[in-house]
Amino acid sequence: MTDMPSPSAPLKIGTRGSPLALAQAHETRARLSAAFDLPEAAFEICVIKTTGDDRSLIDADRPLKEIGNKGLFTKEIEEALLEGRIDIAVHSMKDMPTFQPEGLILDCNLPREDVRDAFICPAYRSLHDLPQGAVVGTSSLRRRAQLLHRRPDLKVVEFRGNLQTRLKKLGDGVAAATFLACAGLNRLGMTEVPAAPIATEDMLPAVAQGAIGIERRSDDARTQRMLASVHDAPTGDRLAAERAFLAALDGSCETPIAGLAEIDGDQLRLRGEILKTDGSAAFAGEIRGPVAEGADLGRRLAADLLGRAGPGFLAHKA
Cross-strand pairs, 258? 273
CA dist., res. 110 & res. 34, Å (int): 14
Residue 302 has pLDDT above 80, yes or no: yes
Q: What is the pLDDT of residues 160-216, one digit of tens each?
A: 777 778 888 888 989 999 999 999 999 999 998 889 999 999 999 999 999 999 999
In the residue annotation, 95 being an active-site residue is answered as yes
CA dist., res. 186 & res. 15, Å (int): 19
Say if CB 246 and CB 235 are below 8 A apart: no
Among 95, 117, 220, 237, the active-site one is 95
For residue 232, report the phi and psi dihedrals to the nearest 5 degrees. Answer: -100, 105
Cα three-residue angle 53-59-61, rounded to 5 degrees: 100
pLDDT of residue 59: 47
**What pLDDT band is residue 234 in, cutting at 50, 70 and 90?**
very high
**What pLDDT band is residue 24 in, cutting at 50, 70 and 90?**
very high
Cross-strand pairs, 216? 88, 105
Of 9, 5, 26, 76, the C-alpha closest to 223 is 5
Q: What is the pLDDT of residues 126-159, one digit of tens each?
A: 999 999 999 999 989 999 999 999 999 999 999 8
- The residues near 191 (Cβ < 8 Å, ≥ 6 apart) are none
Say if CB 210 and CB 221 are below 8 A apart: no
Q: What domains lie within the chain, and their CATH numbers?
A: 11-110+211-231 (3.40.190.10), 117-197 (3.40.190.10), 246-309 (3.30.160.40)
CA dist., res. 184 & res. 192, Å (int): 13
Cross-strand pairs, 118? 180, 197
CA dist., res. 281 & res. 246, Å (int): 19
